[in-house]
Amino acid sequence: MTRATCARIEAVGDASDIDVAGHPIQVLTLDRLIQVKRRLTRPKDKLMLLQLDSLRDELTK
């Protein structure tokens, strides 16, 4: 099992359900998503982590 798969399985337990146009969608909190991305090693995850950290900084101002 890859690290991404392990992170995905672990993250599902931390997901919350929201309603989007009548469809239940599972989402992670921003902090939890950042935790998951920190554990992954793919270049695209590292790039996304920079954006997520910046977003969190903006939201906490």
Q: Please list the alpha-helical segments (H only) found in the chain.
A: 3-12, 30-39, 43-59
The model's pTM: 0.66
Tell which wins on pLDDT, 4 or 41.
Answer: 41
The predicted-structure confidence for 10-44, as pLDDT tens digits, reads as follows 556 677 888 999 998 888 888 888 998 999 889 99
Q: How far is the C-alpha of 55 from the C-alpha of 43, rounded, in Å?
A: 19
Residues 6+ apart with CB under 8 A from 11: 28, 32, 33, 36
| C-alpha neighbours within 13 Å on the C-beta side of residue 38 | 8
Alpha-carbon distance 13 to 49, whole Å?
Answer: 21
